[in-house]
Amino acid sequence: MTSKHRLTRSFRTISALMYLANIAVSVHFAWVPQYLHILAGVTVALASTIMLFVAIESPSAIVDKLERSSVGIQLFTFRGRYMMDLFISLYLFAMPPWGVIMGTVTFSLIFGIRVLGMKQPDAFNEIFRQSDIESQSDSYTMESEYDTPVAERQ
């Protein structure tokens, strides 16, 4: 097994364990019989469950349904996962003390994956799919390429 495959497998495993811990923290928080505790806990538990399915790409019935929906397909891209992890971690910060710890872990994993993308682009591309928006942004040119020097403008 190549180092790229080991690295992507490690990140998928760490992500799955993190989402499981996020689910446990949010269910524990939702157990308090107050409206906002239940609402925030259930919301984070559902979002973490969906992201767990995306991270491990199983069960196939749910993953296929997500892939066929226009919003669900975005969860497989870096931008979609980043937004969901940001959403989850911000809610977790409202669930002290374990939520603060897991929110920090979730933020750390987001930035760890970004560093992976800069250092190991092949492994990054294996973890995430390329979205249409990201592929369109690659074709843009820098504005400075069309600037003319000041001496030529006069």
Per-residue model confidence (pLDDT) at position 2: 78
Percent of the chain past pLDDT 90, that is, above it, reads: 53
Q: Read off the amino acid at residue 71.
A: V
Residues listed for the chain: 154
Per-residue model confidence (pLDDT) at position 90: 96
- What distance separates the 2 farthest-apart alpha carbons in the chain? 73
In this predicted model, what pLDDT tens digit does every residue of 18-66 receive, in sequence order? 999 999 999 999 999 999 999 999 999 999 999 999 999 889 999 999 9
The tokens describing 94, both together, are 């409202």
Whole-angstrom distance between the N-terminal and C-terminal Cα of the chain? Answer: 61
Residue 136, pLDDT > 70, answer no
Per-residue model confidence (pLDDT) at position 122: 79
Residue 78 and residue 113 in contact, taking contact as beta carbons nearer than 8 Å: yes
